[in-house]
C-alpha cells in the first residue's frame, strides 16, 4: 500500500508520520511530499530515512491514500489531481469542509458518510475533509448527548494552543520566553504571559473564521442545521492542547447521572471529573494523547435542559493527525471486508 503525506515537514505532517508508525504502517510505502523549498530533505520514519519529494512526484506515484496538511490553497490545487489518479484524499485544511458533496468526518460519529462515498466511487477517487481541531474535540465530547437528547444550542469559548497556528507561533513563544525578539511574529501581539480573543481571520459579522468553523462544522457533522452555536476563540500561551468551556442546551430534560454514563461510554472520550480531588482535564493531561478529556460536568442552574462541561484534547493529535489516520483505517477496513 502506498500512502502519501502532503505537507510532511510541518507540525501536523510530522505528527501524521508518528501516528502512522504507531498504528502499524511503518512497513508501508510512505511518500513524503512538501513545498519546493523542502524537496530533498530527509525525514526519519520507522527506522529509515524518507526523502521529501514534490507533490507532482507524489501524484505520479499513484498512492492509495494521500493525507494532506499543507493548507487550503495547496489542497484546492492538488487534492483533485490525486483523486483523478484513483487516490483517496483525506484533507486536514478548510478547503473542502463546507462543500456539501465532501464528507466531513469524525470517525466515532459519522464514518458512514465516508464509507458511503467510497462505496459509491468507481475508482476510490474521493476527497474527505478532516474537521477543524476545535470542532473535533467538542462534537466528540457531546456526540452521545446529541444522539440521546438532541442539542438545541451550544455556547463555546475556546482556549487554543499556539500549535494550532504552526511552528512560527511556537518559535515566537520560545523567543519571548527567553526574553529575545522573535525573528518572525505569528501574532500581532506577544503571546508570552498574554492571551487574546482572536483566532483566524476577521469576518464582517465581527466573528472570526475559527469561530465560524465551530458553527458550520458542528451542524454538518451532526446533520442538523437547526443547532444554534455561538463561539468565542482565544489564543493562549500553551503548547500541547486546546481547552474549551462548553455550555449545551439539550432538547429535553436530562438526568446528570445518565449524562455521565453516556460520556463515559463514548469511544475516544475520557470522563476526567472528580472535583473533590481536583481532577479535571488540562492541556498537559491531553498532550501526546489521542483521547478527548471531559471534566467540570455540571448542571446549568440558570436555564432548563442545559449543562456545562470542560473539554480538552491535543489539537495536533486527535484534532488533526490522529483523526485523519483513523479515517484512513476505517476505509481500509471497508476495502478489506469487500
Q: Give dist(CA 335, CA 338) in Å, integer.
A: 5
Do residues 305 and 252 make contact, with C-beta atoms less than 8 angstroms apart?
yes
Long-range contacts of 194-200 (CB under 8 A, 24+ apart): 194/237, 195/159, 195/234, 195/235, 195/236, 195/237, 196/234, 196/235, 197/232, 197/233, 197/234, 198/233, 198/234, 198/235, 199/158, 199/160, 199/164, 199/233, 199/234, 199/235, 200/233
- Please identify which of the residues 62, 133, 287, 288 carries the catalytic annotation: 133
Going by the DSSP 8-state scheme, the letter that residue 317 receives in this structure is: I
Instruction: Check if 62 is active-site.
Output: no
At 90 the three-state DSSP class reads: strand
305 catalytic per annotation: no
Indicate which residue of 62, 192, 198, 242 is catalytic: 242
Q: Which residues are catalytic?
A: 133, 242
Amino acid at each position: 500500500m502506498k500512502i502519501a503525506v502532503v505537507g510532511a515537514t510541518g507540525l501536523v505532517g510530522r505528527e501524521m508520520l508518528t501516528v502512522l508508525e504507531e498504528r502499524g504502517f511503518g512497513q508501508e510505502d510512505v511518500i513524503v511530499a512538501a513545498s519546493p523549498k523542502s524537496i530533498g530533505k530527509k525525514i526519519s520514519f520507522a527506522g529509515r530515512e524518507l526523502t521529501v519529494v514534490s507533490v507532482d512526484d507524489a501524484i505520479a506515484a499513484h498512492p492509495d491514500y494521500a493525507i494532506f496538511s499543507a493548507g487550503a490553497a495547496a489542497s484546492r490545487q492538488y487534492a483533485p489531481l490525486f483523486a483523478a489518479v484513483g487516490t483517496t484524499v483525506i484533507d486536514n485544511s478548510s478547503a473542502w469542509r463546507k462543500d456539501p458533496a465532501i464528507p466531513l468526518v469524525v470517525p466515532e460519529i459519522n464514518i458512514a458518510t465516508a464509507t458511503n462515498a467510497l462505496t459509491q466511487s468507481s475508482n476510490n477517487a474521493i476527497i474527505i475533509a478532516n474537521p477543524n481541531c476545535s470542532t473535533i474535540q467538542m462534537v466528540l465530547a457531546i456526540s452521545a448527548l446529541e444522539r440521546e437528547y438532541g442539542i438545541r444550542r451550544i455556547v463555546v469559548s475556546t482556549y487554543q494552543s499556539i500549535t494550532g497556528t504552526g511552528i512560527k507561533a511556537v518559535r515566537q513563544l520560545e523567543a519571548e520566553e527567553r526574553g529575545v525578539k522573535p525573528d518572525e511574529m505569528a501574532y500581532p501581539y506577544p503571546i508570552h504571559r498574554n492571551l487574546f480573543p482572536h483566532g483566524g481571520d476577521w469576518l464582517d459579522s465581527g466573528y472570526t473564521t475559527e469561530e465560524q468553523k465551530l458553527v458550520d462544522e458542528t451542524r454538518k457533522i451532526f446533520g442538523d442545521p437547526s443547532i444554534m452555536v455561538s463561539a468565542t476563540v482565544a489564543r493562549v500561551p500553551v503548547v500541547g492542547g486546546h481547552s474549551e468551556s462548553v455550555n449545551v442546551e439539550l432538547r429535553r430534560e436530562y438526568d446528570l447521572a445518565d449524562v455521565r454514563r453516556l460520556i463515559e461510554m463514548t469511544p475516544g472520550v475520557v470522563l476526567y471529573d472528580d472535583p473533590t480531588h481536583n481532577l479535571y482535564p488540562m492541556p498537559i493531561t491531553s498532550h501526546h494523547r489521542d483521547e478527548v478529556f471531559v471534566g467540570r460536568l455540571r448542571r446549568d442552574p440558570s436555564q432548563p435542559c442545559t449543562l456545562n462541561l470542560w473539554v480538552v484534547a491535543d489539537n495536533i493529535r486527535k484534532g488533526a493527525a490522529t483523526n485523519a489516520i483513523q479515517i484512513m483505517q476505517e476505509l481500509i477496513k471497508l476495502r478489506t471486508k469487500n
